[in-house]
Amino acid sequence: MLKVPKLSLLAGLVAAVIGTGAQAEGKISIAQQFGIGYLILDVVRDQHLIEKHGLAEGLDIKVDWNSISGATAMNEALLAGALDVVSAGVPPMLTLWDRTKGRQNVKAIASLGSMPNYLLSNKPEVKTLKDFTPADRIAVPAAGVGFQSRTLQIETAKEFGNDQFKRFDDYSVSLPHPDAASALIAGGSEINAHFSSPPFQYQELENPKVHKVLSSYDILGGPATFNVLYTTQKFHDDNPKTYKAFYDALAEAAQIIKADKADKAAAAKTYIRVEQSKLSEDFVEKIVKDPEIDFTVVPQRTFIYAEKLQELGVLKNKAGSWKDYFFEEAHGGDGS
């Protein structure tokens, strides 16, 4: 399993920002969560791609990397000014876009790739959503608000009706993916289900007592963006060269990962090194090569969330298209 750093960043980061004032062009603070869904950022960090593209813009960019678990903490840190760029699933980004429209105007920068998330269980009788009971506990990183919870709410609305979309919120427990995976594999705890993500879901499925109930791709109708990076209008507008260097670094990292088998092997090694993972290189490389996974900065099927969550009343603002909540640098791709 991955070693999870014990972090209490928010208070310290906020204090640092209060003490130093606003960021200047040539500085960027970034936070990511845990898992192979952040491989693009791992490659960017490992190969100093922001610094590389910054030099092309005439800047010596100072990059501050942070790790935080959970979308709620990410959003709080961004709004507090403690971080410039945060990462989470599409729904938490949309929530912040909705709440800050006309004020901080938070929007997405880029996708971090399309990959399925599996709802898993170690309870043999649980084969569909309808088999869960109030006695069951589903581990998710951010109960009720994170990517997994919102995706589950969309499927729950399909199965039980829109008025029941929060049906499984009371069954959900907030737990970082590494801890949830350990609990599901070990068994014997209140956690008997986990809406997981790569690489954790692959580790869990190696245990014969764990099985897949459904995939996020089933819910969304095909390959769909898992995580996105997002920031405020102010950071975007006040730091054009730094922002461009960051976006170009992300695009280059995606190309490095997708290039060929040799680079996929290298990407697997990068993940293990940067994330301090104890997973084998063969295991990680197998995940990177999974045909269901596409490391791309182009968003896919994000508008499904925007439409459905607005219909359910989670979002107040109605987006006309995915371009409404992505900054213009991302508009050139064949997004959705």
Give the residue extent of every domain in the chain.
9-114+225-330, 118-220
| 9-114+225-330 is classed CATH 3.40.190.10 | yes
pLDDT at position 261: 66
pLDDT at position 251: 97
The residue among 82, 44, 70, 30 whose CA lies nearest residue 229 is 30
Which stretches in the chain have pLDDT values below 50? Answer: 1-9, 11-23
pLDDT at position 33: 85
pLDDT at position 262: 74
**What CATH class is the domain 118-220?**
alpha beta
pLDDT at position 71: 79
Do domains 9-114+225-330 and 118-220 share one topology? The answer is yes
pLDDT at position 55: 97
pLDDT at position 24: 65
pTM: 0.87
pLDDT at position 15: 43
